[in-house]
Chain A
Amino acid sequence: EPEVTQTPSHQVTQMGQEVILHCVPISNHLYFYWYRQILGQKVEFLVSFYNNEISEKSEIFDDQFSVERPDGSNFTLKIRSTKLEDSAMYFCASSAQGETQYFGPGTRLLVL
């Protein structure tokens, strides 16, 4: 059964550094999402992406964040200048038609 994959599983970075989180959605899916979960808090929506553009973004997704689908398979989340409060688990998800979302295993980001 196809699955969403994410790399790396863990990332440690220094405050102010750029990080790129990688996701490979399920191959025939058209809708892509990023969510994050700060330790002890709920899973929060960051951004949705369809037809090569952002379809919706949350208040969290400010100018420090960007997403890209550089080729036919990858979907990346970039944080330009990380802050301590960016430490969280980041989940990628994809969906065929915008109904059921399938989640990746997550990348745990720690900003020191």
Chain B
Amino acid sequence: AQRVTQPEKLLSVFKGAPVELKCNYSYSGSPELFWYVQYSRQRLQLLLRHISRESIKGFTADLNKGETSFHLKKPFAQEEDSAMYYCALKGRPSNTGKLIFGQGTTLQVKP
């Protein structure tokens, strides 16, 4: 089965604290994973893809195939990071590109 699990509905941290948004997946083969962010009243935006291995807005995510995880991390949270974060997996057949989303985690960064 192809599935994405984000166990936390809400994560609340203080500004400057480290953040880790959890994502676990179920997929046989080599997965292609993404993090999307949705700021208040805005569209879903790509935050990062695991294959590009880049850091966007200070966020990074490492694919851990052993733990089937793709957790999103940032060492020091900012108030403007408050948003809904979705982990997504490119499902099979991969040539159609359909995305399978997790439930999403609301990140709340308090001043």
Q: Which residue numbers of A lie inside 8 Å of B, CB to CB?
A: 3-4, 31, 33, 35, 41-45, 48, 50, 55-56, 58, 91, 95, 98-106
Assembly CA distance A103 to B37 (angstroms):
11
Q: Which of B74-106 contact A (CB under 8 A)?
A: 86, 91, 93, 95-104
**Which residue of the partner chain, among B36, B42, B86, B98, contacts A56 with CB atoms under 8 Å?**
B98
Asked if B43 and A104 make an inter-chain contact with CB atoms under 8 angstroms apart, the answer reads yes
Asked if A42 and B104 make an inter-chain contact with CB atoms under 8 angstroms apart, the answer reads yes
Asked if B46 and A45 make an inter-chain contact with CB atoms under 8 angstroms apart, the answer reads no
**Which residue of the partner chain, among A95, A99, A103, contacts B45 with CB atoms under 8 Å?**
A103
Asked if A56 and B103 make an inter-chain contact with CB atoms under 8 angstroms apart, the answer reads no
| Across the A-B interface, the 4 shortest Cβ-Cβ residue pairs | A98-B97, A103-B44, A56-B96, A43-B101
A-B contact pairs, 10 of them (CB 8 A): A42-B102, A43-B44, A43-B86, A45-B98, A56-B98, A58-B98, A99-B49, A101-B46, A103-B43, A106-B43
